[in-house]
Amino acid sequence: MSAVATDARTTHAAGVERLLASYRAVPPGSPVRLAKRTSNLFRSRAATDAPGLDTSGLTNVISIDVEARTADVAGVCTYEDLVAATLPFGLAPLVVPQLKTITLGGAVTGLGIESTSFRSGLPHESVLEMDILTGAGELVTASPAEHADLFRAFPNSYGTLGYAVRLRIELEPVLPFVALTHLRFHAIPDLVDAMADIARTGRLDGVVVDYLDGVVFSAEESYLCIGRRTAASGPVSDYTGQRIFYRSLQHDGRAAHDRLTTHDYLWRWDTDWFWCSEAFGAQHPLVRRLWPRRLRRSRSYATLMRLERRYDLGNRIEAAKGLPPRERVIQDVEVPIERCAEFVDWFLANVPIEPIWLCPLQLRGDDAWPLYPLEPHRSYVNVGFWSTVPVGASEGETNRSIEREVSALDGHKSLYSDAFYSRAEFDALYGGDAYRAAKARYDPDSRLLDLYAKAVQRR
């Protein structure tokens, strides 16, 4: 059975033509970029007058093949729209990143992760093929068998090799509800040991685990969040109103239980942008009652953050209090699971940010992906932390210290936020030779930014 909107393919074809026309309209030799309504990048970026390519027709789900469990999806389709199309068929992408505005193309070229990653890897690993507009202006289909070098180099290239126009992805069956168990730990090594055992066996007490992540509130208070699919009906919680999901994890006993619809589970972190909505007052009971429910979502907070950065409101407030400016520390890092407790202990001792998010992952296949070379068959933990700290004696002092510690532990850092690596360090960590080979073939005139320039230098 194939589910296709009546005009979905026609709409997509017209959108591709507009995209190509907008590329051809850019003067030869001039740089090009996408014109997107949303972005989940948190780097400081220099202003540019480069024309934006028209992506207005590339926002839809094109088709869903229910029997094959695949979907053809336009590159700028958000996961919110993708999940809305697949859930009525009892299907979902193998990995659904936690924020509704993340696009499928963005998660593949920029990496994404969520609580299925301990068994399903990263979003690009469930991509079967992609239509990519390259920097040279060619529309090519990349797969393991065709333009395989581009297919392998595309993840973590952040739009510097080309833009995904259409992606065919795998889907997996889901059930209507997710039953949750929140296990409390009083020591980080104990939590990591339990996480590693579940990641290795896929089970807790002999029962299959479908979803796994965790939250660290302090060295003495941390939780594993274990989810299991279920069709059993019953009461469900709602964290889109006054109640706040991450606060629901906290309890004094060994285990607490909860239930959510699958839809609400997938978006449990979006309502409060994990816990970052607190910075805007959205967790204060009175403010929360007045804050429209439709605006309790990551898109709203990201808009407010962009306004804060544009007018430097945070530092102006700090200055009025007689305090120094703040350094943004908005990062996700991957460290081997056997080094996770070591990293978390170091982080809690050196960086005044909490809570922090933990999400285990392991690549699905046998091959590494050259621009983010995690080892196959090795478990890692994504550690996410998003806040500010007082500035140090040099630019990016805290971020640089985190980069050094992650590298010392044989880990990697995602590139969606500020980075401070030297060119040599960057090439060693992010597949410099493979990247340059793909860049020379698919963007020979450098119409798109270089990855190092985009990730590190454009501040």
Task: State whether the Cα torsion 42-47-50-52 is positive or negative.
Answer: positive
Q: Please compute Rg for the chain using Cα positions.
A: 22
Contacts of 334 by beta carbon, 8 Å cutoff, 6+ apart: 361, 374, 380, 381, 382, 383, 411, 412, 413, 414
List the one residue out of 214, 217, 236 whose CA is nearest residue 225: 214
What is the 3 state secondary structure string of the chain? Answer: CEEECCCHHHHHHHHHHHHHHHHHCCCCCCCCEEECCCCCCECCCCCCCCCEEECCCCCCEEEEECCCCEEEEECCCEHHHHHHHHHHHCEEECCCCCCCCCEHHHHHHHCCCCCCHHHHCCHHHHEEEEEEEECCCCEEEECCCCCHHHHHHCCCCCCCCEEEEEEEEEEEECCCEEEEEEEEECCHHHHHHHHHHHHHHCEECCEECCEEEEEEEECCEEEEEEEEEECCCCCCCCCCCCCCHHHHCCCCCCEEEEEEEHHHHHCCCCCCCCCHHHHHCCCCHHHHHHCCHHHCCHHHHHHHHHHHHHHCHHHHHHHHCCCCCEEEEEEEEEEEHHHHHHHHHHHHHHCCCCCEEEEEECCCCCCCCCCCCCCCCCCEEEEEEEEEEECCCCCCHHHHHHHHHHHHCCCEECCCECCCCCHHHHHHHCCHHHHHHHHHHHCCCCCCCCHHHHHHHCC
Digit-by-digit pLDDT tens for the chain (459 residues) are: 555 555 888 999 999 999 999 999 999 888 888 765 555 555 565 555 666 899 999 999 999 999 999 999 999 999 999 999 999 999 999 999 999 999 999 999 999 999 999 999 999 999 999 999 999 999 999 999 999 999 999 999 999 999 999 999 999 999 999 999 999 999 999 999 999 999 999 999 999 999 999 999 999 999 999 999 999 989 999 999 999 999 999 999 999 999 999 999 999 999 999 999 999 999 999 999 999 999 999 999 999 988 888 888 888 888 888 888 999 999 999 999 999 999 999 999 999 999 999 999 999 989 899 999 999 999 999 999 999 999 999 999 999 999 999 999 999 999 999 999 999 999 999 999 999 999 999 999 999 999 999 999 865
Domain 2-174+445-457 has CATH 2.60.120.1090: no
List the one residue out of 246, 248, 247, 244 whose CA is nearest residue 291: 244
Strands 203-204 and 207-208: antiparallel
